[in-house]
Amino acid sequence: MQPYPQPDPRWIDDDIEEQFGVFQEVVLAIRSLKKTVGVSDGTKVPVTLAVPNLMSGVVLWTMHDSIVHMANVSDVDHVNDPPYRDPGWERPQGTVVSITPSGVEVYLHVEGVMDVEAEMERLAGRISKAEQERARISSKLENEQFVSKAPPDVVRRERDRLGETEASIEAMSAQRDAISLLRDQRPT
């Protein structure tokens, strides 16, 4: 039997791994933002990246085509963060933002891609239904007779459903909050 192959230490480069990590964070942030605000994976929208340092800027600039492909966006605009950023730069209108752990600000341009008011109404309805479901499950679990007489697996399933419902409400509320920022950005 052959021994398991060992990596060649010359191939390990911490700087390259860190740089690729920045790229991965950006792609993940774009995908998460699209999901959070209800933009389908197939919809291509532009993205603006504000980078915290020159190294991140160079890495992301060289990975431009890969970001476009892997995040399925129409274009990526790069803006350097202070001290490199133009002092007159402002957050792009019609965007939602996420900040990666490495400090890259990801601005997803969604204005015109979605009907903000219709999406807010849809989310309000879904949140309301989920809150009603949470109240129903909570009431059942607060009933001592139900908890004492129901089989333990039924009680556990209801507790799991309550946790899932609460997580769903939290996710939809975060989505609503992100979308409401678009409504608040509009010029009056």
| 84-127 confidence digits (pLDDT tens) | 556 666 777 788 888 888 888 898 988 788 777 887 888 899 89
Nearest CA to 109 out of 45, 64, 60 is that of 45
Helices (H), 46-151: 54-62, 64-71, 116-142, 144-149
Q: Which domains does the chain have, with CATH numbers?
A: 9-109 (3.30.2320), 116-185 (1.10.287)
Q: Which two tokens stand for residue 30?
A: 């774009």
The percent of residues in the chain predicted with pLDDT above 70, rounded, is 91
CA nearest neighbour of 94 among 77, 116, 79: 116
Show Cβ contacts of residue 177 under 8 Å, excluding neighbours closer than 6 positions: none
Distances (CA, A) of 107 to 95, 111, 166, 172, 175: 6, 12, 28, 20, 15
Render pLDDT for 115-169 as a digit per residue (tens, 0 to 9).
778 878 888 998 999 999 999 999 999 999 999 999 999 999 999 999 999 988 8
CA 135 to chain centre: 28
User: What is this structure's pTM?
Assistant: 0.68
Vertex 28 angle, CA 24 and 34, to 5°: 150
Question: Which has more confidence, 170 or 135?
Answer: 135
CA-derived radius of gyration, the chain: 23
> For residue range 32-55, what is the model confidence (pLDDT) as tens digits?
888 878 888 889 999 999 888 888
